[in-house]
Structures are given as C-alpha cells and as structure tokens.
Amino acid sequence: MNWIQKEINLSPKPRGFHLVTSEILEQVPELREYSIGIAHIFICHTSASLTLNENADPDVRVDFESHFNKYVPEKAPYYVHTIEGPDDMPAHIKASLLGSSVSVPIKDGNFNVGIWQGIYLCEHRNHGGSRKIIVTISGEKSS
C-alpha cells in the first residue's frame, strides 16, 4: 500500500458550482502512478464545499446554485453571525449540507467515476478566492 498527500490550490472562482476534476488531476500527476486505490479530496474552508455530480449539462450547476440560494437565503432575520457579510452565514450552512470532502476510486491512473460524473467546487461566497485542497491517495502503484 502506497500513500501520498498533496496540498493544492484551486484557482479563484465566482460564486456557483464549478467542475474542477481536470484542475485537480493536473495538479496531482502522481495519481497516474496508481493502478488501484482511493483519492480522498478535502477542502480546507468553511464557506465552500465539494460534491460529485453531473459533468455534462451546465444547467445542472445553475440549478444547484438556484436551489441552494432559495433553500438557504441571505439576510435571513434569524442569522446572528453577520459580521462578514450577508453571504457568509449562508455559505457556512451550504458547506455543511454538501460536505468538505469526496472520496473517489482510482483505476489505471485516473478517477474511476461514472461517465457523467465530475467533482464540483461549490463556491458559496461572492468572492471566495483561491481554495486550498488536500488530496490524499492510498493504493497500489503500477508495476
């Protein structure tokens, strides 16, 4: 069993749901050395999240953003934590609902996901900036 752990940074994205599968793969070329394994991908922030979902139709990402904005509105009168702006507390709630990590199987040096699946960075702040990701890989390297 071989292990690696790598810290990477995703480029700043506007608020919304963004496919980042390719960006992660580009920054973790070591993954190509693994014939089988698991990649655990963790975001080091409380106002953004990660999820795995539809990678083909961009309307899905638009609908995600629309739904979450309705489900967790800004400027709700019951929010107490408001000092960092009206998008901050909703961002924390959205991040908790979606989660801070995804685990993805590895096969033959690539993510072994469904043909229509991709990893999303879910940016819940209006100006979130660069996002730090920790990728931990465990598995068997190719001979």
- What's the whole-model pTM score? 0.96
By the 10 Å C-beta count (0-12 exposed, 13-18 middle, 19+ buried), 119 is classed as buried
In the chain, where are the structural domains located? Answer: 2-141
b/e per residue 22-61 (b: at least 16 CB within 10 A): ebbbebbeebebbeebebebbbebebbbbbbbbbeeeeeb
Q: Could you tell me what percent of the chain has a pLDDT over 90?
A: 99
Predicted pLDDT at 143: 82
104-125 pLDDT, tens digit per residue, is: 999 999 999 999 999 999 999 9
Question: What is the CATH T-level fold of the domain 2-141, as seen in this structure?
Answer: Jelly Rolls (2.60.120)
Tokens describing residue 44:
């080091």
- The owner of tokens 């609908």 is 63
Task: Say whether pLDDT at 66 is over 90.
Answer: yes
Tokens describing residue 82:
């408001």
Output DSSP code: residue 134: E
141 contact partners, CB below 8 Å, separation of at least 6: 2, 33, 34, 35
Please indicate whether residue 143 or residue 125 has the higher confidence score (pLDDT): 125
